[in-house]
Every structure is written in C-alpha cells, then in structure tokens.
Amino acid sequence: MSQLSAVYRAPDVELKEFQIDASKQHYNTTNGATTGPSAYVLQAGQIDVDKPSEGRKNAQGEFTYLSKLRMHLTGLQDDLNEYLTQRMEQAKNKKLKQADEARIKAEIENLLDGGDDEDDEQ
C-alpha cells in the first residue's frame, strides 16, 4: 500500500502534513475517536447506528487492503480533527485575551479620566 498523507494549508500557518503512523492505535481501527456521536449523547442512551464495521481479515488473519485503507483514513481524519480543534481553541483564547486587554484598557482610561463616566465639561 502506498503511503497516504494529508496536507493542511491556511494563510496564517505553514504547511502542515499528516502521515500515517501504524504504530498508533487509532490507525488500527475503523472506529475513529473524533467521529460519531459524542460521549454525552451515547451516555444519554442513544445508539450509534452509523458505527463502522470492524476491519475484515483474509484467510491468513491479516486485514484486507480495503480494511487497512479505511483504518488509515480514519486515523488521518482523527489527527486532522484534533489539530483543527487545537487551532480553534487557540483562536478562541486569542479572541478572549484581546477582549480582556480592550476591557482593561477602557477601565484604565476611565480611571485616568476621573472614573465618573461623565465627560468633563467644566
């Protein structure tokens, strides 16, 4: 099987390439960690009707080509989803930090202006 990979590009990020690492557990299952219903939904009693079937094995007990392909694609998708989730968290934290800085700046300006929230017209 040729080596699969995925590439992520964004204007503010250098090229990010994802390679298959079959030594990682999530590259050896068809059940992705970042796909399907959330743990909350499953704990509430929902049944995952879209859960993928386990990989099929040949007569020698090895996974078939298509099963390996499915497992590797699922692993790549997990890696991409985890990376994008991290980027979204960073963006959210950056936005919160900027909002805090703007609030603090406004409070300081208000204090320096007399702290009464009224224009000095005298």
Q: For residue 14, what are the CA distances in angstroms to 28, 78, 82?
A: 29, 20, 17
Residue 22: give the domain boundaries. Answer: 5-112
Is 79 inside a domain boundary? yes
Is 17 inside a domain boundary? yes
**pTM of this structure:** 0.70
Per-residue burial over 84-95, b = 16 or more CB atoms within 10 Å of its CB, e = otherwise = eeeeeeeeeeee
| Amino acid making up residue 46 | Q
Is 120 inside a domain boundary? no
Mean pLDDT of the chain: 86
Is 97 inside a domain boundary? yes
Domains identified in the chain, total number: 1
The model's pLDDT over 37-91, given as tens digits with 9 standing for 90+, comes to 888 888 888 888 888 888 899 999 999 999 999 999 999 999 999 999 999 999 9
Is 122 inside a domain boundary? no
| Amino acid making up residue 69 | L
Separation of alpha carbons 9 and 17, rounded Å:
9
Is 11 inside a domain boundary? yes
Is 40 inside a domain boundary? yes
